[in-house]
Every structure is written in C-alpha cells, then in structure tokens.
Structure 1
Amino acid sequence: MTMRANRVAEQMKKELGEIIGQRLKDPRVGFVTVTDVEVTGDLQQAMIYISVLGKESEKAATLDGLKKAKGFIRSEIGKRIRLRKTPEIDFAFDESVAYGNRIESLLREVKEDETDS
C-alpha cells in the first residue's frame, strides 16, 4: 500500500469503529471490532477485517447485517473522510484472533503435560 492508502485505511478504521458501534442500529450486528482495513493503491476498494464475539451463527448474522448496511456505512465514511470517491467496501472475518487463541491453548496444554510428567 502507498503512504496515502495507509493513511486512508487508518482513518477508515477509526471512523468504522464509531459508525458500527454507535450509528448502526441493526440488531443482528453484535459486538464487532474492526481489526484492520486494507485499501488498494488507487483507493477504489477497501477490505475491512472484523472480529466478532459469539457463536458461529451470531458471527454469520453479524456479517449479514454489515453487508446489508454497506450503503449506509459507505455514505457515513464519505461524509467523514474527504475523498473524491469513497472506496467500495467489503467485510471479512479476521481469523488471526481465533488462530492466536488456538495456539495459546495448545501451548497451555503442552505446559500442563510437562508439569504432570
């Protein structure tokens, strides 16, 4: 990413946290954390990575709610960030948090096995 794309991504991440947390009224959208935003060099596309607490069904419902609210979220971003054209947005789960938790639990099991031996 270019320096400008990085700045836009960081600003979008900040604004998205506020928009999703305070302005979005969809009951399907649970506790969402925006973990990362990747913007293409031409600022036309943005991939928003989210982390959601809850069961798989709640995560899927949250993703559906966010995808349904894409237009509203994009217009809010357009009002808050001055760009010639607001990037098209798409949402994806950030699996790194779950991956980190899995590694931590495996390490904990290994440590317990060593102390039992």
Structure 2
Amino acid sequence: MANKQFTRADRVAQQIQRDLAQVIRAELDHPQASLITITDVEVTRDYSHAKIFYTFMGDEALREEIAALLLRAKGFLRAQISRGISLYKMPELHFEYDVSIEYGMNLAKKIQEANALPKAPDDNGQA
C-alpha cells in the first residue's frame, strides 16, 4: 500500500474547510446559509491565498445572493477561522462556485435517460 504524503498546506486546507463549514453554518446571518457546502479548499504554498470551492443546494435563483453574501462576509469568516489555526499570516479567502456536483448530477441523469431508451436489434435480430 502506498504511503501518501500530505504537505502542511494540505493539512491547513483541510482545517480551513472544517472550520469554515462550521462558521458558515453557525454564524452567517442568512436563512439559506445552512445549504452552503464547502467542497474543497486549495491553499497556496506560502499560505497567502485560499481558494474556497462551495456549492449551494438551495434555489438556483439565490445562487448570486449567496455568492454576494460570501464575498461580503469573507473578512468576518477569515477572522473567525484564524482563531482555530495558528499561522503567521491567515490566507486571504477567494470563493468560487463548484459546478462539479451539478455536472455529475446532469451526467447521471443523461446516463439514466440513455439506459431507458429501447435497444436496437443487433445483426442476429436480438434486442
């Protein structure tokens, strides 16, 4: 079995993901904030920037409102997660909507639709 090495940046990213999910759920003042899911965090090697990937499982019309909410709250969120992580400099947060979940759901739906189609007979006359 291969021994996978995790860098400190990976561990910091995982901690930021856990802490940020908890702060968003508990402290953001929006009725739909509990529907925000942090899917991944990428931290630069010098810890100056963190790209936060998120999804929103609520109404699609609220997606822009949630993006604006996260943009306005990023200073507050950064301050809150800095309490749990001991770094010389807390990374600046950059939020990016993660389309991979929607892409996967659409792909699964298309596969289901393709499987539901009647099969054409092959050369032997069998379906």
TM over 0.5: yes
The percentage of counterpart residues that share the same residue type is 34
1:95 maps to 2:99: yes
- Uncovered stretches (5+) of structure 2, i.e. residues with no partner: 1-5, 121-126
Match status 1:113 vs 2:117: yes
Query: 1:23 deviation in Å?
Result: 1.4
Q: Which aligned runs of 4 or more in structure 1 are off by greater than 3 angstroms? A: 26-30, 114-117
Partner of 2:11: 7
Query: Structure 1: where are the runs of 5+ without partners?
Result: none
Greater C-alpha radius of gyration: 2
Which residue in the other structure is 1:72 paired with?
76
Counterpart for residue 45 of structure 2? 41
Secondary structure of the equivalent of 1:46?
strand
Say which structure is richer in helix: 1
TM-score, scaled to structure 2: 0.84
Q: How far has the Cα of 1:79 moved from its partner?
A: 1.1
Deviates further, 69-78 or 25-34: 25-34
Counterpart of 1:70, as a letter, is K
Aligned-residue CA RMSD (Å):
1.8
After TM superposition, give the deviation of residue 56 of structure 1 in Å: 2.8
CA shift at 1:80, angstroms? 1.3
Measure the CA separation in 1 of the matches of 2:32 and 2:25.
Answer: 13
1:77 deviates by 1.1
Question: Distance in 2 between the 1:30 and 1:7 partners?
Answer: 24
Indicate if the aligned counterparts of 2:39 and 2:53 stay in contact, CA closer than 8 A: yes
> Is the Cα contact below 8 Å between 1:29 and 1:63 reproduced in 2?
no
